Amino acid sequence: MGLTPASARPRVNIEKCHKCWEPGHIASRCAGTDRSKCCLKCGKTGHTVDKCTEEPYCPLCEQPHRAWSGKCDRMRTLLASTKSAFLTKKILEYNEDVPSTSKETQCTQGQGPNRTELKKFARVLDRYGVSDRSAAAIASAVLKDVGIITEGDTVNVVDRSKVRRARIKSRQSLQDKGIDNSVKAVFFDGRKD
């Protein structure tokens, strides 16, 4: 069984106001111009997008494209800064969680490097929403390809119970760190899609 390289990255969304169409906030916190009755294609009132015969026009950046289009300079600028901030935060979180490996460590029976790696692996799986069964299949395939698991060797086989236990330990250690638990609510941007 061969491996196919693939990359996965979290989707970075930016908030879009359905009232003024500006990116970066939601309608419930908007003090801007009310454009909720305007056409998203041309920015004029009196008709909807599906009945619009006008040329596309974005009132945010005053360019010839639809509002919220990937061509909008405002959207692209905000998305780039949001991605940069998100990736910087993730790199800092990862560096805080991963211990330094610059010195040699002695491994004892039952506490080898695979245990630490499984904990990191579980944290990444949580981040991308991979199921325990899929994670176990991925980990076992990689260990087999690398040569850590051989035929008849069951000590290093990763099953979904090991992944589940590692996830629980990882989540527990994050909870024990004293993460800010002051967040009491989740806000939605008002869309029903």
pLDDT confidence bin for 1, thresholds 50/70/90: low
Buried/exposed code over 152-177 (b: 16+ C-beta within 10 A; e: otherwise) = eeeeeebeeebbeebbeebeeeeeee
CA atoms within 13 A on the CB side of 104: 1
pLDDT single digits (tens) 52-61: 888 888 887 8
Q: What are phi and psi of 151, to 5 degrees?
A: -60, 130
Instruction: Give the integer Cα–Cα distance in Å for 132 and 123.
Output: 12
Task: Give one DSSP letter per residue of 129-177, joined into a string.
Answer: T--HHHHHHHHHHHHHHHTSS-TT--SS---HHHHHHHHHHHHHHHHHT
Indicate the average pLDDT of the chain: 69
Assess whether pLDDT exceeds 60 at residue 91.
no
Structural domain spans, the chain: 16-88, 113-178
Cβ proximity of 163 and 132 under 8 Å: yes
Q: Give the N- to C-terminal CA distance of the chain in Å, as an integer.
A: 40
* Cα–Cα distance measured from residue 35 to residue 23, given in angstroms and rounded to the nearest whole number: 13
* In the predicted structure, residue 69 carries a pLDDT above the cut 70: yes
167-182 pLDDT tens trace: 777 777 766 765 555 5
